[in-house]
Amino acid sequence: MENNYGDASHDEATQALGALATDSQRLAQRVQVPWALMAAFGITTWLAGAACRSAVENLRRG
């Protein structure tokens, strides 16, 4: 796919953006993330947040 849109008209740019949006929606409909992976991501995020909070509290205490 060409990525040089410097000389593209407004209509061409609009069509290209529409095609990209359609591709993005089609891909999002096909991809399914396993619940275990999402759960692991959530737990990891929670643990990272807790570690950051703890580090900030330790820094504030001196």
**Every domain of the chain and the residues it spans:** 1-31, 33-62
Q: How many CB atoms lie within 10 A of CB 16?
A: 15
Whole-structure pTM value:
0.47
Q: What is the pLDDT of residue 6?
A: 64
Whether residue 53 is predicted with pLDDT greater than 70 in this model: the reply is yes
- Judging by beta carbons within 10 Å of its beta carbon (0-12, 13-18, 19+), is residue 17 exposed, middle or buried? exposed
As a whole number of angstroms, the distance between CA 46 and CA 54 comes to 12
Q: Are 5 and 16 in contact (CB under 8 A)?
A: yes
Confidence label for 16 from pLDDT (cuts 50, 70 and 90): confident
Q: Per the structure block, which two tokens stand in for 12? A: 């061409």
Q: Which of 9, 11, 17 is nearest to 1 (CA)?
A: 17
